[in-house]
Amino acid sequence: MSKTVNEKINIAKNIAKSHYLNQATSTALVLRDQLQITGLLPPAVETFDLQKKRALIQLRAKSTELEKYIFLAWLRNTNVRLFYRLLIEDLEEITPLIYTPTVGTACQEYSHIYPFLAPPGVHDGLFLSLNDLPNLKNIIKNYNPYPFDESLTPQIAVITDGSRILGLGDLGVNGMGIPVGKLQLYVAGAGIDPRRTLPITLDLGTNNEHNLKDQFYLGLRRKRGSDKEFFSFLDAVVKTLREVYPELLIQFEDFSSEHAFELLKKYRDNTFCFNDDIQGTGAVILSGFINAVRLTAKDIPPKEHRILFFGAGSAAVGVAKQLLEFFQIEHGMTEADAKKLLWLVDTKGLVTFDRGDKLADHKVYFARKDNEGQQFKSLTEVIDYVRPTALIGFSSQGGIFTEEILKKLARLNKNPIIFPLSNPKNNAECTFEQAMKATNNQVIFASGTMFPTYTEPETGRVRYPGQGNNMYIFPGLGLGALLAKPRIITDKQIYKSASALAYSLTDEEISLDMLYPKLTRIRRVSAEVASAVIVQIVEEGLARDEEVIALVKNDLEVLKANKGPQWEGLVRFVEENMWDYGREKYFDSKI
Ligand X SMILES: O=C([O-])CC(=O)C(=O)O
Question: From ligand X, Mg ion, none, which one binds at residue 469 (CB under 5 to 8 Å depending on kind)?
Answer: ligand X
Residue 423 binds which one of Mg ion, ligand X, none, with CB within 5 to 8 A depending on kind? ligand X
Residue 448 interacts, among ligand X, Mg ion, none and using kind-specific CB cut-offs from 5 to 8 Å, with ligand X
Minimum distance between the CB of residue 161 and ligand X, rounded to whole angstroms?
13
Nearest distance in Å: CB 499, ligand X: 20
Q: Which does 416 bind (CB under 5 to 8 A by kind): Mg ion, ligand X, none?
A: none
Q: How far is CA 398 from the centre of its chain?
A: 21
- Site track 413-452 with ligand X (rule: CB under 6 A), x = hit: ----------x------------------------x----
> If binding is defined by CB under 6 A, does position 163 make contact with ligand X?
no
Quick one: 170 or 277, whose CB is closer to Mg ion? 277
The length of the chain is 591
Is 96 or 517 the residue whose CB approaches ligand X more closely? 96
Does the protein bind ligand X through residue 276 (CB under 6 A)?
yes
Smallest separation, CB 323 to Mg ion (Å): 19
Which of residues 132 and 161 has its CB atom nearest to ligand X in the complex? 161
What does 203 bind: ligand X, Mg ion, none (CB cut-off 5 to 8 Å by kind)? none
Strands of the sheet containing 273-275, edge to edge, are 126-129, 197-203, 156-160, 249-252, 273-275
By CB under 6 A, is residue 469 in contact with ligand X?
yes
Q: Which does 101 bind (CB under 5 to 8 A by kind): ligand X, Mg ion, none?
A: none
Please report, as a single letter, which amino acid is at residue 35: L
Residue 110 Cα to chain centre, angstroms: 20
Residue 528 marked in a binding site = no
Distances (CA, A) of 437 to 397, 402, 416: 20, 12, 13
* Closer residue to Mg ion (CB): 159 or 290: 159
Strand partners, 249: 156
Instruction: Give whichever of 20 and 69 is closer to ligand X, judged by the CB atom.
Output: 69
Q: Among candidates 245, 275, 270, which has minimal Cα distance to 258?
A: 275
Rounded CA-CA distance 326/181 in Å is: 30
Q: How far is the CB of 224 from Mg ion (least distance, A)?
A: 18
Q: What is the largest CA-CA distance in the chain?
A: 83
HEC string for 1-19: CCCCHHHHHHHHHHCCCCC
For residue 470, the minimal CB distance to Mg ion (Å) is: 7
Among 23, 95, 100, 160, binds ligand X (CB under 6 A): 100
Catalytic residue among 182, 321, 425, 485: 182
CB of 111 to Mg ion, least distance (A): 20
Catalytic residue among 20, 84, 99, 472: 99
Whole-angstrom Cα distance, residue 520 to residue 188? Answer: 10
Residue 164 assigned ligand-binding role: yes
Contact 154, 248 (CB under 8 A): yes
Beta strand 390-393 with 307-310 is parallel
Residue pair 124/80 in contact (Cβ under 8 Å)? The answer is no
The answer to whether the annotation marks 277 as part of a ligand binding site is yes
User: How far apart are alpha carbons 457 and 546 in whole angstroms?
Assistant: 56
Site for ligand X in 562-581 (CB under 6 A): none
Distance (Å) of CA 252 to CA 157, 189, 238, 371, 481: 8, 19, 11, 35, 15
Residue 251 interacts with ligand X (CB under 6 A): yes or no: no
**Preceding omega of 424 cis (within 30 degrees of 0):** yes
Report the residue from 31, 87, 166, 234 that binds ligand X according to the rule CB under 6 A.
Answer: 166
CB 156 within 8 A of CB 198: yes
SS3 category, 349: strand
**Chosen from ligand X, Mg ion, none, partner binding at 434 (C-beta under 5 to 8 Å by type):** none
Task: Count CB atoms within 10 A of the CB of residue 244.
Answer: 16
Q: Are 117 and 124 in contact (CB under 8 A)?
A: yes
Residue 345 pairs in a beta bridge with 310, 350
**346 is annotated as contributing to ligand binding:** no
Tell which one of 124, 161, 170, 254 touches ligand X (CB under 6 A).
254
Residues numbered 188 to 227 that lie near ligand X (CB under 6 A) are none
Q: How far is residue 27's CA from residue 15's CA, in Å, rounded to a whole number?
A: 14
**Contact call for residue 291 and ligand X (CB under 6 A):** no
**CA–CA dist 350, 357 (Å, integer):** 12
Catalytic annotation present for 182: yes
Least distance from C-beta 394 to Mg ion, angstroms? 11
* Comparison of 185 and 444: residue with beta carbon closer to ligand X: 185
What proportions of the chain, in percent to the nearest 5, are helix, strand and coil? 50, 10, 40
Residues forming the site for ligand X (CB under 6 A): 100, 166, 254, 276-277, 423, 448, 469-470
Binding residues for (S)-malate: 164, 423, 469
List the binding residues for a divalent metal cation.
253-254, 277
List the catalytic residues: 99, 182
